[in-house]
Amino acid sequence: MTSPRKPAPRLDPVIHPITRLSICGLLASGADWVEFAALRDAIGVSDSVLSKQSRLLEDAGYVEVRKGAVGRRPRTWFRLTPDGQEAFQAHVAWLQQAARVRPEDIAAPATRRGAEPPPPETSRR
Amino acid sequence: MSNPAEDAAELEQLRAQRAHLADRLRAPWWYLAGFAVVLALTLAVPIGMHYFGGAGNWSLAALVLWFLLQGALARASGVAVGTRTLRYPSGRAAGIAMMVVVVAALIAEMLLTRHGLVAEAIVVGVLATAVGVGCWQAHLRGIRRDLRTGAEAM
């Protein structure tokens, strides 16, 4: 579940690529666990892409994975860890802040009082 | 540079994906039918006690069935919300309303059966079951709304 305190906006390079942002965003929606197929269909990616990206999030300690089976069919369930939850909230706050920056603000960031410097160039895919 | 329009579009895309995920949590007919059985079993306890002297196992059966239904819904939808569903703010009022309806109906049934009005007690049970299922559907709609918006689940 979400922590009561809102973390400071922060770019998280692990969450930044769009597929991993989607995975974290869906897992942070409030569900206890989300199943592999539900996650794949909601994001619209292939099994292999979801496996690879979720493994990276698991390695970073942001996602917990539980494997089980229904009959002979294997089922994989995901959920965000508290670290993942916090990192995601901080990253979304950063994105919201970046989305509010207008092009003219990016051109002259120093002229805006209290404005954050424009975020650095980062790879999204 | 990060593109503000691109960042805003990605947040919008995330909203659409959450809506897609939330829509999977629509209760199928068998879930609602099973939930009606859970309520009917619970509300049959006072009448069962009147006729058989003891119906404590019925409420235990109702509890087990409810846990099984929640597990089955999670498997069918791919979205597990657990059993502590009152933590979802949008669905809380409907969930509490269902509990109030059940408790009020149980009290009414006990009073009615004590005065020998068993038929009236059955009518109260049937009506409370129908209202309770309606409240539970509203409760699930609230949960879907919270999943869609990512509202903080406490």
**Taking CA atoms, what residue in A is nearest to B14?**
A22
Note whether A119 contacts B: Cβ–Cβ < 8 A: yes
Q: Would you kindly state where each structural domain of chain A is located, as residue ranges?
A: 18-95
Strand pairing class (B79-80; A63-70): unpaired
* Most A CBs within 10 Å, among B3, B6, B12, B21, to test the A interface: B21
Q: Is residue B23 part of a domain?
A: yes
Using alpha carbons, list the distances in angstroms from residue B86 to A22, B72, B120.
26, 19, 31
Instruction: Give the tokens for residue A98.
Output: 């970046």
pLDDT band at A111; cut points 50, 70, 90: very low
What pTM was computed for the model? 0.78
Among the CATH numbers 3.40.50.2000, 1.10.10.10, 3.20.20.60, 1.10.357.10, which is that of A18-95?
1.10.10.10
Within-domain flag for B154: no
Tokens linked to B91 = 């669905």
pLDDT at A95: 83
ipTM (interface pTM): 0.78
pLDDT of residue B8 exceeding 80, the answer is no
Q: What is the pLDDT of residues A91-103, one digit of tens each?
A: 888 888 877 765 5
Identify all chain B residues contacting A18, using CB atoms and an 8 Å cutoff: 10, 13
| Minimal Cβ distance to A38: which of B24, B146, B151 | B24
Does B142 reside within a domain? yes
Euclidean distance between CA atoms B145 and A26, whole angstroms: 14
**Number of domains making up chain B:** 1
Cβ contact, residue pair B80, A32, below 8 Å = yes
CA distance B81 to chain A (A): 5
- Look up the domain containing B71 and give its range: 4-149
A and B: number of Cβ contacts within 8 A: 108
C-alpha to C-alpha distance for A91 and A113, rounded to whole angstroms: 23
Query: Given a cut of 80, is residue A1 above it in pLDDT?
Result: no
